[in-house]
Each structure stands twice: as C-alpha cells, then as structure tokens.
Amino acid sequence: MAVAVATETLRTLHRMHRQLADLAEQLAAGPRAVAIRTKQVQAAEAKKATAADDVKKAKVVADQKQLQLKSAESKIGDLEGKLNACKTNREYQTLGDQIAADRMATKVLEDEIIEALERIDALKPAVPAAEAEIEAAKKLLAEADARVKSETGRLEAEVARIRADLQAAEKDLADDVRERYDRVVKQKGADGMAAVDGQTCGGCYQQLTGNMQSDVMLGRIITCRSCGRLLYLPDSSTSA
C-alpha cells in the first residue's frame, strides 16, 4: 500500500516540478523579451545620432567652402580695385590674368558648395526616419514591458500555488524515498525524476535490470543506475 502511494506521489511531484520548470522558463522569457526591445530602441537611437552627425559634418563642409568663397570674392574685389592703379599695360595684363584665374577658382568652389548643399539635403531625411524608428521601437518596448509586468504577477502566483502544493505532497513521501528525492531534486530539479518507459529509464533510455523492472512494477521507487533519476511507473501502466 505504502509503495503504491509512493509511486502516485512521485508522479504528482514530478508533474509539479515540470510545471515549476515551465513557469520559471516563462518568467525568464519576459525580461529577455524586454531586453531585446530595449536593445532595438538603443540601436534606433544610435542610428539617429549617426544620421544627425552626418548632417552636421556635411554642414561644416558647406560652411567652410562658403567662407572660402567669401574670402576669394573679397580678394577678387581687392584686385579689381587695384586695376585702376596699374601704371603699365603689363601690370594691368598680369593683374587681369590673376583675376580671371581667381574667378575660375571661385566657379569650382561654387560648384562644390552646390554639391555640399545637395549632400546635406540627401542626408537630412535619415534623421526623421530614425526618429520614427525610435518611436516605433519605444512603443514595442512599452507593450512588452506592460505584458511582462501583468504576466509576471500571474506566473508568480501560479509558482506560489504549485510550490505550496508541492510542499504538501512531499510530506507523503516515505523517509527513505524522501531522502533520495531531496538529493536528486536539489541536483537536477524536474530532471531528477522520470517515468519508466517500457523496460528502460524514461530519462536516459538505459535498459533496466529484471530486478529493477519487477521493483518498479510493485510500485517501488528505484534509481536509474545510469542517470540517477528516480523512476516510477507511469499512470497508463498502472491502469493497464
């Protein structure tokens, strides 16, 4: 009688340990999901910072070229002012050539400024695009956060309930089984137990000896010599 109770109790305890392991997995999955969403927000923020920096650098380039153009133009103005002061045709000619060359240089500069401004225009849209990405990622994060918060309460209540049931059920184990059970659960948790699968351990599929098989058929709790799991008769075999 007592041994049959042990089988039944261990079967129940194993089920509870599996439920607890599953709940622990679900509880761990919540913060993992939040961490992934947080990383996505950070990635979008980094993207925006890079995009804004690219625009800033392009503006610096355009500003520098505009300053160069201004000083080149004022230099040309100065040279033009000196034209009237030329005393010889040769001086006039030399100065005129230099002004023409400087004008060519400013033309190149003007083209470069147009290119720099076009580059700014091309880079600018990446900033609001990244901002939209940040908003979307933040929304997903808030959703994940809210979901995890509400789920965590429910899961923790479930864990507390099963733990209480587990402790109550553990009291039904006979002292000798309890000792083996405590040791194996401490080491392996839910993996410390297995139902017998035909003539093998349901955990590691090691063949059981004839003695072990008959012991388990009698409702005794045996230990797998290969993996150390506590073995019990599955429910279907009892009813069959």
Positions that interact with Zn ion (CB under 5 A): 201, 203-204, 206, 224, 226-227, 229
228: left (phi over 0), alpha (psi -120 to 50) or beta: left
> What is the residue type of 134?
I
State in angstroms the smallest separation of the CB of 225 from Zn ion: 8
State in angstroms the smallest separation of the CB of 190 from Zn ion: 14
Burial group, residue 229, by CB count within 10 angstroms (0-12, 13-18, 19+): buried
Which CB sits closer to Zn ion, 62 or 230?
230
Which CB sits closer to Zn ion, 167 or 206?
206
Which CB sits closer to Zn ion, 42 or 199?
199
State in angstroms the smallest separation of the CB of 183 from Zn ion: 15
> What is the residue type of 2?
A
Which CB sits closer to Zn ion, 119 or 220?
220
State in angstroms the smallest separation of the CB of 232 from Zn ion: 12
Which CB sits closer to Zn ion, 71 or 206?
206
State in angstroms the smallest separation of the CB of 205 from Zn ion: 7
Query: Percent helix, strand and coil across the chain, each rounded to 5?
Result: 80, 5, 15
State in angstroms the smallest separation of the CB of 11 from Zn ion: 17
Which CB sits closer to Zn ion, 28 or 204?
204
Residues near 131 by Cβ (< 8 Å), separated by ≥ 6?
48
